[in-house]
Amino acid sequence: MEDLIYQKKEKIRNINRVYWFISQNKFFTKKEISDSLGISFPTVTKIINLLAEKQIIIEKGYSENNTKRKAILYEYNPNSFYSIGIKLEVSSLSFILINLNGDEIKKTVIVKDFFNDENFVLYIIEELKSFLKGFQFKDLITGIGISVSGIVDNKNKILKIGTNFHLFEKDMKEIKNSFQLPIYLMNEANAGAIGEFFLNKTLNSQNIAFISIESGVGAGIVLDENLYKGHSSKAGEFGHFTVENNGRKCNCGNSGCLEMYCSNRALIKEFEEKFNLSNLSFVEIFSKGLADTEKGKEIFEKYTDYLALGIRNILFLLDLDKVIIGGLIANYNKYIEKSLKQKVFNNIFFKEENILEFSKYGDFSNLIGAAFLPFNDLFINLVTKMAK
């Protein structure tokens, strides 16, 4: 049995490596792949045939270097498939259309309040229809990946617990029916962890927490290179770590949860209260210079106290080699990085400050991570075909 699993893993790894090679080199022959990856020629041929069948690669004549026997030259075709990513937040809805390479074809962000909005599914469908208007290759779209802040049941396509939305047990299958495309639901932080993997090509870590700070706070946890979801997909509910006994009341029923102090909403609220403002946006905290004032610095001091407490606890539990903070705050890391690192690495167990990083992609990684989900199935199909 273990042998079987290993073989499958080996096949996945080979397909991944070949795919990685072709997406980097654009033009290639089978021999070049075999030589540079050390994968046997018959295996490479098998993979290449499968990719060619799906039009992921196209024959482009013959290689000029090879004088003895002409070798077929192939070209990578990233526009063979497309995918849609959706990010549903309490205060916004984002769409992205990407090709197989992850290149952005189109993107849009709609600002809207979804709190308690029972009709959010219908709204998504209507907006997605207009987003796709004019796109010529709709039949090449493989599916729709959806990142939601909350607990999702992907099998039954249900948003189970959307604490921040105050939405529970909401069926999202209508999206699948409307577009006749498979849909994939994923918690926002987990989608962010996947996006980070794809975008951050230099990421060499095996054990990672991707901390997503949005209107809620969550953590996508990767252990031994596998996304860890837990018994009922509730792993990584980092935002509900208790950081203050008898603290602020949270929508989850507890008090003193981390996201009541560190989410974007909590931070905005704190600034509004201390500066006597209303309708402040997250970006305005910085663009209006509020973050640079003495009062602003005090707010961030408290913010990093709580965030550091949470990160320390994750490190003590999982001994990770990388913790990546994503979300809009990552774009303003200079306001918190130094003090956060001092507070996280103030103990004798964890000293390497480079464990902690800020995402280079701000609040984009979960959107693109969602868009990559349908491609995953495409590759699983290839592996299944290869095993036959």
Q: Nearest distance from residue 254's CB to Zn ion, in Å?
A: 5
Q: Among 122-130, 150-158, 208-216, 253-261, which window interacts with Zn ion (CB under 5 A)?
A: 253-261
Q: Among 8-16, 151-159, 171-179, 233-241, which window interacts with Zn ion (CB under 5 A)?
A: 233-241
Judged by CB under 5 A, the residue of 159, 189, 257, 370 near Zn ion is 257
x/- contact string, 176-195, with Zn ion (CB under 5 A)?
--------------------
What's the first-to-final CA gap in the chain, in angstroms?
A: 17
Q: Among 33-41, 138-146, 240-248, 317-325, which window interacts with Zn ion (CB under 5 A)?
A: 240-248
84 to 110, 184, 387: CA distances (angstroms):
16, 10, 28
Distance of CA 65 to the CA centre of its chain: 41
- Number of CB atoms found within 10 A of residue 320's CB: 21
DSSP strands (E only) in the chain: 27-28, 57-62, 72-76, 82-88, 92-99, 104-111, 141-148, 151-153, 158-162, 167-171, 183-187, 208-213, 217-223, 226-228, 322-326, 356-358
| Exposure of 10 in the CB half-sphere (CA atoms within 13 A) | 10
| Exposure of 150 in the CB half-sphere (CA atoms within 13 A) | 27
Nearer to Zn ion, 261 or 300 (CB): 261
Q: Does 265 interact with Zn ion (rule: CB under 5 A)?
A: no
Which residues have a Cβ under 8 Å from the Cβ of 317 and sit 6 or more positions away? none
Q: Nearest distance from residue 250's CB to Zn ion, in Å?
A: 3
Total residues in contact with Zn ion, by rule CB under 5 A: 5
Judged by CB under 5 A, the residue of 240, 265, 322, 343 near Zn ion is 240
Nearer to Zn ion, 94 or 263 (CB): 263
Q: Among 130-138, 236-244, 305-313, 325-333, which window interacts with Zn ion (CB under 5 A)?
A: 236-244
Q: Does 248 interact with Zn ion (rule: CB under 5 A)?
A: no
**CA 175 – CA 121 distance, rounded (Å):** 7
Output the DSSP codes for 77-112. Answer: -GGG-EEEEEEE-SSEEEEEEEETT--EEEEEEEE-
Which has the closest alpha carbon to 335: 213, 195, 202? 213
Q: Nearest distance from residue 339's CB to Zn ion, in Å?
A: 24
Q: Which tokens in the block code for residue 68?
A: 């003895």
**CA 252 – CA 375 distance, rounded (Å):** 33
Q: Among 22-30, 130-138, 249-257, 270-278, which window interacts with Zn ion (CB under 5 A)?
A: 249-257
Which residues have a Cβ under 8 Å from the Cβ of 338 and sit 6 or more positions away? none
Q: Nearest distance from residue 343's CB to Zn ion, in Å?
A: 22
Q: Nearest distance from residue 240's CB to Zn ion, in Å?
A: 4
**Is 372 in contact with 102 (CB distance < 8 Å)?**
yes
Q: Among 91-99, 192-200, 239-247, 372-380, which window interacts with Zn ion (CB under 5 A)?
A: 239-247
Chain positions 86 to 125 lying near Zn ion, rule: CB under 5 A, are none
Q: Nearest distance from residue 258's CB to Zn ion, in Å?
A: 8
Q: Nearest distance from residue 243's CB to Zn ion, in Å?
A: 10
Nearer to Zn ion, 184 or 303 (CB): 303
**CA 301 – CA 324 distance, rounded (Å):** 20
Nearer to Zn ion, 23 or 242 (CB): 242
Q: Does 51 interact with Zn ion (rule: CB under 5 A)?
A: no
Q: Does 252 interact with Zn ion (rule: CB under 5 A)?
A: yes
Q: Nearest distance from residue 163's CB to Zn ion, in Å?
A: 7
Q: Nearest distance from residue 253's CB to Zn ion, in Å?
A: 7
194 to 87, 187, 190: CA distances (angstroms):
14, 11, 6
Q: Does 250 interact with Zn ion (rule: CB under 5 A)?
A: yes
Q: Nearest distance from residue 246's CB to Zn ion, in Å?
A: 13
Judged by CB under 5 A, the residue of 79, 178, 205, 254 near Zn ion is 254
Q: Which residues make up the interface to Zn ion (CB under 5 A)?
A: 240, 250, 252, 254, 257
